[in-house]
Amino acid sequence: MDTAVFRLDGVTKRYGDLVALNNATLEVGANEYLSFLGPSGSGKTTLLRVIAGFEAPEAGRVHFEGRDITNVPAHERGIGFVFQNFALFPHLTVIQNVGFGLTHGKSGLSSAEIERRAVEMIDLVGLSGMEGRGVDQISGGQRQRVALARTLAMRPKLVLLDEPLGALDANLRGRMRNELRAIRERLGVTFLHVTGSETEALAMGDRVVVLDRGTIIQTGTPGEIYDRPASPDVAHFLNRFNLFDGSLSRGSFTGAFGTAAVPQATRANRDVYAVRYDRMKVLPASASTDGPKLRATFIASEYLGSSVMNFFDAGHGHLIEMEHHLSLGAPDTYEPRQDYLLTWNPEQAIVFGREAG
Distance from C-alpha of 125 to C-alpha of 176, rounded to nearest angstrom: 10
The upper half-sphere exposure of residue 204, i.e. CA atoms within 13 Å in the direction of its Cβ, equals 34
Q: Which position among 9, 12, 83, 138 is part of the footprint of another protein (CB under 8 A)?
A: 83
In whole angstroms, the minimum distance from the beta carbon of 90 to another protein comes to: 7
The full length of the chain comes to 357
Q: Which position among 22, 31, 107, 215 is part of the footprint of another protein (CB under 8 A)?
A: 107
Q: Is 81 in the site for another protein (CB under 8 A)?
A: yes
Distance from C-alpha of 350 to C-alpha of 259, rounded to nearest angstrom: 14
Q: Which is nearer to another protein, 88 or 342 (CB)?
A: 88
Q: Which is nearer to another protein, 64 or 100 (CB)?
A: 100
Q: Which is nearer to another protein, 145 or 150 (CB)?
A: 150
Q: Which position among 26, 50, 88, 165 is part of the footprint of another protein (CB under 8 A)?
A: 88
Burial of 43 (0-12, 13-18, 19+ CB in 10 A): buried
State whether residue 76 is helix, strand or coil.
Answer: helix
Distance from C-alpha of 67 to C-alpha of 183, rounded to nearest angstrom: 27
Stretch that binds another protein, among 88-96, 185-193, 292-300, 342-350 (CB under 8 A): 88-96
Which residues, numbered 19-58, are part of the site for another protein (CB under 8 A)? Answer: 52, 54
How many residues line the site for another protein (CB under 8 A)? 22
Backbone angles phi, psi at 141, to 5 degrees: -65, -35
Q: Which position among 5, 125, 154, 275 is part of the footprint of another protein (CB under 8 A)?
A: 154
β-bridge pairing 241-249 and 215-220: unpaired
Alpha-carbon torsion 326, 171, 34, 47, what sign? Answer: negative
Distance from C-alpha of 288 to C-alpha of 272, rounded to nearest angstrom: 25
Stretch that binds another protein, among 83-91, 168-176, 179-187, 280-288 (CB under 8 A): 83-91
Q: Which position among 10, 18, 68, 89 is part of the footprint of another protein (CB under 8 A)?
A: 89
CB distance 133 to 166 below 8 Å: no
Q: Which position among 10, 105, 140, 284 is part of the footprint of another protein (CB under 8 A)?
A: 105
Q: Which position among 101, 164, 214, 346 is part of the footprint of another protein (CB under 8 A)?
A: 101
Q: Which residues bind another protein (CB under 8 A)?
A: 52, 54, 74-75, 80-81, 83, 85, 87-91, 100-101, 104-107, 150-151, 154
